[in-house]
Structure formats: C-alpha cells, structure tokens
Homo-oligomer: A and B are copies of this chain.
Amino acid sequence: MLVKQTLGRVVKSTNMPDLTKSFSPEQLAKAITAKRTGMKLTLVNVSAALSLSKPTLIKIEKGDTSVKLVNILKVMEYLGLSFSIVSDELTPNSNTTGVSDEEWY
C-alpha cells in the first residue's frame, strides 16, 4: 500500500495489523514491523540499541517462532508493544483475594 507523506514523497504504509483479531505469530511480526517503520527505525537502529543481531530481528519480523521469548520481548518493549494474556472460556477471575474459585477455566 502506498501513502502520500508531507513532502509528496511516497512510502509504504506502516500497515499495522488489526490487533482485535486473534493472535498469531504473523500478526505479531507485522505489528513489530509496522511499529518499527512507523517510528522510522531501521533494523540496524534496533539491532544496535538492543545488542541483537540483524538476522535475529529479521527472523522475528518474519514470524519465525523458533526465537527465544526474551528477544521478542526486548524488541516489543523497545517499540512500545506488549502482550496481554487471554484465557478462553468463562470468567478468568480478577482474583482480588489471591484465591480462585476453582473451575473458572
């Protein structure tokens, strides 16, 4: 997708995926790429900032799941992305007491 910018220069859209859709590694990869490019950062920028190699960053942005969680989390935190955990089925228990009612899952 092409988008017109301030000075008439044409660049690719950041193309952020729809984050309301259910999670997939591809969605995560797209969100990371979209955030990074939206912030005008290059792979080398991020690589240097996080001491992570470029090939690893590319694996992450390609949706390769054979990457250590810690490396994905580093990139996400740097870009201002985060996870939230969602438990299927009923009432995940907000757990103010520290105790679960059992069978909530």
A residues with a Cβ closer than 8 A to B are: 1, 3, 5, 13-20, 22-23, 25, 27-28, 31, 34-35, 38-39, 65-70, 72-73, 80-89, 92-96, 98-100, 102-105
Contact = CB atoms under 8 A, between A and B. Distances in A.
Contacts of A25: 69, 73
User: Chain A contact residues: over half helix, strand or loop, or mixed?
Assistant: loop
A19 B87 contact: yes
Contacts of A105: 14, 16, 35, 38-39, 80
Copy total for this chain: 2
A20 B94 contact: yes
Contact of A95 (B18, B87, B88, B102): B18
